[in-house]
Structure 1
Amino acid sequence: MIFRQLFDSTSSTYTYLLASRHGGEALIIDPVLDRVDRYLKLIEELDLRLVKAVDTHLHADHITGLGALRDHTKCITVMGEQSGVDVVSMRVGDGDRLSIEGMSLGVIYTPGHTDDSYCFTLADRVFTGDTLLIRGTGRCDFQNGSARAQYESIFNRLLRLPDETLVFPAHDYKGDSVSTIAEERAHNPRLQVKSVEEYEALMAGLKLANPKMMDVAVPANMRQGLHQEEVAKRGWAVDARAAQAMLGRRDVVLVDLRERGERERHGCIPGALHAPYPGLMESLAPGGMLFELANATGKRLVFFCAFGERSAMAVQAAQDAGLRDACHVEGGMGAWKKVVEMGE
């Protein structure tokens, strides 16, 4: 396994790059915008292909690198389903799996620091975001935080992991880089409480100043879905209502870019062709399934995904491959379901 722990000294943020092998697919957790060039250089040096960029929660102390990495690499951006971010490519929920080639991470919903906080498990380690820090815990006094929810997340979820599980947080302010569940249970001063009420009182008494970048970072991090606007301006988008009118037409094929787990959890569109996004470029190359389908039959490719980000990137790639009739469904399955629910 390839594993790199990267540090941004300005915000004291840890970013994690993971892959199962050289030359394979990679995933990055909690990237910082100011460090994106460094990540891209490292990804190139390790001969990796970034396919997913993940934020454990909506950050208030730095601007995320999700959007920049998406624009540079066409990767899938991932956050929790509770996040207030306008658009990301994929939203995960408790119990989901977050997978790339040769690697699958467990998804644990751990609200408390924020109401959209998640942790991710992988074999012998857990990436805890701001929920559980080394000898500390994330603050709970803004962004819909809750000390009671955080207590439940830590004591009833994270501390039930095996004692030897390595703890990799999103931040550290003292120079520590890794701990274990057993260490934190024994030595983390904020976990030496006897009840949730005692934990609430402890957290309420911290009186912490707001992060220096909070007023800039939070609004910036809530606005990630810019790619669809650019695609729509080029006339390569249809709304969900128009897409539903295309059902059954012989000159159109709806192409579902979501992963199998998303389809199982959120449903499918009858008759849609399943072509997961990670294999898109190969499929759109001469000889690839989608390229040959469009050229041999003259069918119009209409891409869709969960919220429209992957399909927006897909239609750009299709246009670049010479498939000029390709378009995508704005807002993806999220918009599709709204139209169905409204009975339109």
Structure 2
Amino acid sequence: MIFRQLFDSVSGTYSYLLASRAGGEALILDPVLEKADRYCQLLRELDLRLVKAVDTHLHADHVTGLGELRDRTQCITIMGEQSKADVVSMRVSDGDKVTIEGLCLDVMYTPGHTDDSYSYLMGDRVFTGDTLLIRGTGRTDFQNGSSRAQYESIFNRLLKLPDETLVFPAHDYKGDTVSTIGEERRYNPRLQVRSVDEYIELMANLKLPNPKMMDVAVPANMHVGLHQEELAKQGLALCARDAIASLGRPDILLVDLRETSERAKHGTISGALHAPYPGIAESLKPGGMLREVAAATGRRVVFFCAFGERSAMAVTAAKNAGLANTAHIEGGLDAWKKIGGPVVHE
């Protein structure tokens, strides 16, 4: 396995690059905007293709690199379903799995620092975001934080993992790089409490100043999504209502870009062809499945995904590949379902 822990000294943020092999798919956790050049350089050096970028929560102390990496690599951006950030093209919930070639991360909802805080468990290690830090815990006094919820997340979820589980947090300010669940249980001063009430009292008396970047980072991190209205202006988008009205038309080919797990959980549109987004480039090449189907049938390819991010990127990719007769459903299946569009479960 390829594993790199990367550090941003300005915000004290750790980002993590994961892959199963050289030449394969890669995933990055908690990227920082200012480090995007470094991430892309490392991807080239290690011969990796970034397919997924994940934020453990909406950060308040730095601007996320999710949008920049999406624009540079066309990767899928991932956050928890509670997140208010518009950059997200895939939203996960507790018990889901985030997969790339050869690797699988189990999704754990661990609120408390914020209401959209998640941890990701991968074999012998857990990426805890700001929920559990090395000899500390994330503050709980803004962004719908809750000391009670954090206590539950730590004591009833994370500390239930085996003692030898490696702990990789999203931040550290003292120079520590890794810990274990067992170490934190024994030596983390904030975990030496006898009850949830004692923990709540401890967290209420920290009296920490707000992060220096908070007023800039939080609004910026909420609004870095693709501007889908630009595709609409170019006639390359269908609003959900028009898409529903076109259902069953013989001149349109609906293409579902979501992963199999998303389709199983949320359903799909009847008659849609399944072509997961990570393989879109191959599918659009001469001889590729989508290109051949479009050429053979003359149908207009209409992409859709969960929220319209992946499908917007697919329209651009198709245009660049010389396949002009495409569009996407603006807002994705989320918009489709909100106005009563029919879905089927396969």
TM-score normalised over the length of structure 2: 0.98
Distance in 2 separating the partners of 1:7 and 1:303 = 37
Q: Hey, what does 1:47 align to over in structure 2? A: 47
Match runs of 1:124-163 below 5 Å: 124-163=124-163
- SS of the residue 2:207 aligns to: coil
Unaligned runs of 5+ in 1: none
The aligned amino acid for 1:314 is A
Distance in 1 separating the partners of 2:230 and 2:250 = 29
Q: Hey, what does 1:330 align to over in structure 2? A: 330
Contact persistence 2:244–2:341 (CA under 8 A): no
Superposition deviation, residue 322 in structure 1 = 1.8
Distance in 2 separating the partners of 1:197 and 1:296 = 66
Q: Hey, what does 2:37 align to over in structure 1? A: 37
- SS of the residue 1:302 aligns to: strand
Q: Hey, what does 1:339 align to over in structure 2? A: 339
Distance in 2 separating the partners of 1:47 and 1:96 = 28
- SS of the residue 2:50 aligns to: strand
Contact persistence 2:14–2:170 (CA under 8 A): yes
Match runs of 1:111-190 below 5 Å: 111-190=111-190
Distance in 1 separating the partners of 2:230 and 2:320 = 15
Superposition deviation, residue 341 in structure 1 = 6.9
Superposition deviation, residue 230 in structure 1 = 3.1
Q: Deviations over 1:158-217 (max 9, x none)?
A: 000111000000000000000000000000000000000000000000000000000000
Q: Deviations over 1:311-344 (max 9, x none)?
A: 00001111112221100000001000011179xx
Distance in 2 separating the partners of 1:83 and 1:335 = 17
Identical counterparts, % of pairs: 75
Q: Hey, what does 1:259 align to over in structure 2? A: 259
Contact persistence 2:77–2:87 (CA under 8 A): no
Superposition deviation, residue 42 in structure 1 = 0.2
Distance in 2 separating the partners of 1:230 and 1:30 = 28
Contact persistence 1:87–1:307 (CA under 8 A): no
Superposition deviation, residue 88 in structure 1 = 1.1
Distance in 2 separating the partners of 1:131 and 1:232 = 40
- Superposition RMSD on alpha carbons, in Å? 1.0
Unaligned runs of 5+ in 2: none
Q: Hey, what does 1:221 align to over in structure 2? A: 221
Matched, 1:296 2:293: no
Q: Hey, what does 1:201 align to over in structure 2? A: 201
Contact persistence 1:231–1:316 (CA under 8 A): no
Q: Deviations over 1:53-101 (max 9, x none)?
A: 0000000000000000000000000000000112411000000000000
- SS of the residue 2:339 aligns to: helix
Distance in 1 separating the partners of 2:243 and 2:302 = 8
For these two proteins, the number of residue pairs brought into alignment is 342
- SS of the residue 1:340 aligns to: coil
Distance in 1 separating the partners of 2:336 and 2:87 = 15
Superposition deviation, residue 225 in structure 1 = 1.2
Distance in 2 separating the partners of 1:59 and 1:181 = 23
Contact persistence 1:119–1:129 (CA under 8 A): yes
Q: Hey, what does 2:239 align to over in structure 1? A: 239
Q: Hey, what does 1:9 align to over in structure 2? A: 9
Matched, 1:21 2:50: no
Distance in 1 separating the partners of 2:169 and 2:266 = 30
- SS of the residue 1:303 aligns to: strand
Distance in 2 separating the partners of 1:241 and 1:215 = 37
The aligned amino acid for 1:91 is R
Contact persistence 1:59–1:221 (CA under 8 A): yes
Q: Deviations over 1:97-151 (max 9, x none)?
A: 0000000100000000000000000000000000000000000000000000000
Distance in 2 separating the partners of 1:237 and 1:320 = 17
Q: Hey, what does 2:248 align to over in structure 1? A: 248
Superposition deviation, residue 227 in structure 1 = 3.9
Superposition deviation, residue 228 in structure 1 = 1.8
Superposition deviation, residue 233 in structure 1 = 3.0
The aligned amino acid for 2:184 is E
Distance in 1 separating the partners of 2:234 and 2:146 = 44
Following TM superposition, the consecutive aligned residue runs of length 4 or more in structure 1 with deviations greater than 4 angstroms are: none
